[in-house]
Chains A and B, each alone.
Chain A
Amino acid sequence: MAKDLARYARRRRKNWVILGLSLCATGIGLFFLGAIIFSLLTEGLAAIRPSLFTKMTPAPGSDGGLLNAIYGSAVMTAVGTVVGTPIGILVGTYIAEYSRGNKLGQSIQFINDVLLSAPSIIIGLFVYQLLVVPMGHFSGWAGSTTLAILVIPVVTRTTVDMLILVPNALREAAAALGTPKWKITVSVCYRAARQGMLTGVMLAVARISGETAPLLFTVLSNQFWSTDMNRPIANLPVVISNFALSPYPDWQRLAWGGALLITLTILTLNITARFLANIGSAKQ
């Protein structure tokens, strides 16, 4: 009896120790999230001034901002999203509505999921050889193409997930009215899945707005104001990377400012997307 009690006490002790460790693990995860945001705020807020949004990237030692980089990033992200989103939606539609789990649909979904986690730097190398080498120079278009390729798998994935949730009764009801299939998909299924699909697009924008590595190979950057998408164009991630690695304190400060800007944008997008998804799932 005493032996059994001792064993029971030991099992309970082990339980508490391990569950305590799992609490620590969660604490460590949250600690790093907090630490990163704290550093961004303490270092970055000093750089957030009106001139950050009105002036161009400066030469070392002189005053400046990130206007050209913000503009370049906004344009390339917009083009990448506008090109990538419809493609992603169509691919998702094929997988969820037309392939009905046949071999082709399954392989497309499988490859799409691999592309979703594939290193973005590889996509950068691909676009470098596809566009930069034949054109002979880096360009904003090449960067937008890279970003579009990164958008597609994210949008495809959420489109599939959302279309599968649309109840079949809706499709059947529409079909019984004699609606053609394309119209069922567009006016019934898309409408029912709208919120979730929007979430996917927002997550995709969040993902590409911080992408740096593939842009190094495709856009490079530009120290000056340029709206020519056919030429290298300034963009936030590459400017942050260059400025952070520079030895000049004012460049490093701008890098922190840009980093804070990007992170706030992305976190806002992420939280809003999840909030939307929440409303969507609460409705069902």
Chain B
Amino acid sequence: MVDIPSSSSVPRLRGPQHLFDGLFRGATLFFGLFILLILGGVALSLVVGSSEAFRIFGLKFLWTDTWNPATNKFGALVPIYGTIVTSIIAMVVGIPLSFGVAVFITELCPPLLKRPLSIAIELLAGIPSIIYGIWGLFVFAPFLQEYVQPFLIKTLGAIPGFGMLFAGPPFGIGILTAGLILAIMVLPFISSIMRDVFETVPPMLRESAYGLGCTTWEVVWRVVLPYTKVGVVGGIMLGLGRAMGETMAVTFVIGNAHRITSSLMAPGTTISSALANEFTEASGSTYQSSLIALGLILFVITFFVLAAAKYMLIRMQRQAGN
């Protein structure tokens, strides 16, 4: 950007205009710093709120699996496990789907359909979490229970070892259902970033590859993807950050059971669903402090995931700029 001399260096500008200039600049700077203050405040409030839990349980809190309000014994292992497993399912299902959507939109789609299709997929991102929640509870979970889960139990469940992931009765609600809903929810985020970075590939590269006789898939796999891999990973991490913090949709369909089971069909809990379910009813300061400690853990994990995502996307942007 060209540097326009600030009014202070122009001698003519004195009086009210000069004052306004300073005030306006000051206001923008003040609120800019306010953003940093919000983040600092969030971190501080979580640390203060969770101090009691960490004082009582120590760092053991992180890997203890008890969660018993009656005896005031709390540990974060079960919610952390649930958050990680649901996010893994969301990524395993969501990444190929998002990749497929991005490839279709950038490589195959007729130009006329490109925009409407992108908008339709992005509308999935606009639907609020709670809507996914009630749809998941009343429509998707019963569907899975009736048709998909019995099939999974019969086929994948019969494989020795691996099968225990799909053992047990089909509840409908549970970790698998939550993971699948998350996959649908992160799809628009990941695919729109993939689409954007795919479009930064210089046409020359693509055309050269086609000129050598590559098929469309070979161009995507050997040229587009290597060129954009930082951005693609950034998009995936952004989706991961979203999946881990998603609350209402998960709360509705995960079943909210504080236990770790080998089966993905069993009910479980995540950090955010435990908070949404129990926070307002938590009696006793240790209970509440333990829940805030869960919040702190979620904050730290998502902060690093999102910061890494952002860092990669910035690198991608610089590369595209060059």
Contacts and interface: CB of A to CB of B under 8 A. Distances in A.
Q: Do A and B come from one complex?
A: yes
Interface of A: 11-12, 14-15, 18-19, 21-26, 28-30, 32-33, 35-36, 39-40, 43, 87, 90-91, 93-95, 97-101, 104-105, 107-108, 110-115, 117-123, 125-126, 128-130, 149, 152-153, 156, 168, 171-172, 175, 178, 180-186, 206, 209-213, 216-217, 220, 237, 240-241, 244-245, 252, 255-256, 259, 262-263, 266-267, 269-271, 274
Contacts of A12: 215
A118 B279 contact: no
B275 A29 contact: no
B124 to A, nearest CB: 5
Contacts of A263: 127-128, 131
A266 B127 contact: yes
A181 B129 contact: no
B71 interface: no
B310 A110 contact: yes
17 contacts: A11-B218, A14-B217, A29-B188, A32-B184, A33-B120, A33-B127, A40-B135, A90-B32, A108-B32, A125-B295, A180-B7, A180-B17, A212-B128, A212-B248, A237-B130, A241-B133, A271-B119
Q: Please name the 6 residue pairs, one residue from A and one from B, whose CB atoms are nearest each other, closest first.
A: A210-B128, A119-B245, A25-B100, A94-B28, A182-B24, A15-B215
Interface of B: 1-7, 10, 12-13, 17-18, 20-21, 23-25, 27-36, 38-39, 41-42, 45-46, 48-49, 96-101, 103-105, 107-108, 117, 119-124, 126-135, 137-139, 184, 187-188, 191, 215-218, 238, 241-242, 244-248, 251-252, 272, 275-276, 279-280, 292, 295, 298-299, 302-303, 306-307, 309-310, 314
A244 B252 contact: yes
B128 A97 contact: no
A113 B310 contact: yes
Contacts of B29: 94, 98
A255 B133 CA distance: 12
Given A98-B29, A118-B303, A22 B218 contact: no
Contact of B4 (A172, A266, A270): A172
A155 B262 CA distance: 44
B95 to A, nearest CB: 11
B255 to A, nearest CB: 12
A26 to B, nearest CB: 4
Given A26-B105, A216-B276, A119 B302 contact: yes
